[in-house]
Amino acid sequence: MSVESIAVPASREECPAGVPVWQIRVGTRLSRIAAVAGIVLVVALAALPAIASRNLIQDLIFVLTMLTLAQLWNVLAGWGGLVSVGQQAFVGLGAYALFAGIVMAGLDPVAAIPLAGLFAALIAALLGPLLFRLEGPYFAIGSWVAAEALRLICAQFKSLGGGTGMSISPAELSQMFGLKTVQALLGLRPAAARDVLVYWLALLLAVLVTLGIYAFIRSRHGLALAASRDNAAAARSVGVRTARIRHLLWIAVAFATGMVGAVVYLQKARISPDAAFSVTDWTAYVIFIVVIGGVRTIEGPMVGVLLLWGLVTYLAQYGSLYLVVLGTLAILIMLFMPRGVWGAAARRWQWQLFPTQRWLGRTSGTS
């Protein structure tokens, strides 16, 4: 059957006046309001360091970096079907590349961040063809093995502290790009100014990654990705290059994840293989954020990270109990509310702040 035989006019111009046509819509009225509110929120967050305490800024660095990681995991596993339990590999690689860049190559920390992302992307490009040989669920454990192998390899670098890790002295970071400006602008001491700078970098990354994923999912490439996940054979038969799109997604996600790792460890200024490659910190929390908030939505990770932040405030002092509660919550949500908190609410009240679903509707051709 040729495409022409389906009675869909190729463009508005060909359509005779008054005849109803099918139209695919993605945007909703709420989403246009949300776009304006989103811009206001980002501007407000960017201006926040002028009035906020250092504690709040540090909390928000945690929230923003976890949000970015959650968005990245969501696009990889939720939309792409590449359920990785090894994303800590790229956080760790980004962090180690940052430290190597500063300590061994004498790079400016801010300039080292994109290089750290590139390094993570390079390793992802090398590992991808190997790990993609593992079908579906086995890819999950395979990515975990790769992360463990990379942790053990990083622990071999004695110049980067070996198995015990290392710190960067504040003196080495005092000449960092932009630091003097922030100090002068907000009248802060170097340590507090570094937090503000890292906060802005984290905000920038969160905004760019969220918008990038949003644009990607709404593009035809996003549709191709979802098709590859749902039925790879069918997707290939309509011309989607499923292997290539997944590989490119895997590399792009590693690139951004590596930059997040670099930003996180620029603030911590102390690294060890066990912390930088921690499956709990960089993958378990991230998965719980996405599951609780809602898989395959842009809003889900935002809701999830705010809930996690709330739980951290009350439960973090209990350590292990906190993780037991989070894990149980994630299991219960998966069983009884598989779309997550946001997904359930969106379905109930038809909310779409960042709509990614395509709606087929009839409109009048003359509109």
Partner 1 sequence: MSGFDTIIEGVLLGGVYALFALGLSLIFGIMRLVNLAHGDLILLAAYLVLSATTALGLPLAAASLLVVATMFVLGFVLQRLVLERVLGDDILPPLLVTFGLSIVIQNGLLLGYGADSRRLQAGAFESSSVTLAPGLSVGLAPLTALVTAIAAVALLQLIFYRTSLGRAFRATADNPAIAQLMGVNERNVYAIAVGLSLAVSVIAAIVFGIRASFDPSIGPARLLYAFEAVIIGGLGSLWGTLAGGIVLGLAQAIGGRINPEWQILAGHLTFLAVLMVRPRGLFPARRT
Footprint on this chain of partner 1 (rule: CB under 8 A) = 77-78, 81, 83, 85, 130-131, 133-134, 136-138, 140-142, 144-146, 148-149, 152-153, 155-156, 163, 279-280, 284, 287-288, 291, 295, 320-321, 323-324, 326-328, 330-331, 334-335, 338
Q: CB 229 → partner 1: shortest distance, Å?
A: 9
Q: With H, G, I as helix, E, B as strand and everything else as coil, classify residue 360.
A: strand
CB-based contacts of 209, cutoff 8 Å, min separation 6: 68, 71, 72, 256
Beta bridge partners of 359: 25
Beta bridge partners of 364: 20
Q: CB 254 → partner 1: shortest distance, Å?
A: 17
Q: Are 155 and 273 in contact (CB under 8 A)?
A: yes
Q: CB 50 → partner 1: shortest distance, Å?
A: 39
Give the N- to C-terminal CA distance of the chain in Å, as an integer: 30
Beta bridge partners of 166: 271
Q: Which is nearer to partner 1, 52 or 125 (CB)?
A: 125
Q: Which is nearer to partner 1, 100 or 279 (CB)?
A: 279
Q: CB 218 → partner 1: shortest distance, Å?
A: 21
Q: With H, G, I as helix, E, B as strand and everything else as coil, classify residue 298.
A: coil
Q: CB 141 → partner 1: shortest distance, Å?
A: 4
Provide the 10 A C-beta neighbour count for residue 200. 20
Q: CB 336 → partner 1: shortest distance, Å?
A: 9
Q: Which is nearer to partner 1, 264 or 291 (CB)?
A: 291
Q: Which is nearer to partner 1, 81 or 301 (CB)?
A: 81
CB-based contacts of 39, cutoff 8 Å, min separation 6: none
Nearest to 127, CA basis, from 108, 146, 111, 145: 146
Q: What angle do CA 83, 84, 86 make, to 5 degrees?
A: 165
Q: Which is nearer to partner 1, 26 or 325 (CB)?
A: 325
Q: CB 83 → partner 1: shortest distance, Å?
A: 5
Q: Which is nearer to partner 1, 193 or 326 (CB)?
A: 326
CB-based contacts of 319, cutoff 8 Å, min separation 6: none
Q: Which is nearer to partner 1, 205 or 326 (CB)?
A: 326
Instruction: Spell out a b/e string for 102-116, using b for 16 or more CB atoms within 10 Å of the CB, else e.
Output: beeeebebbebbebb
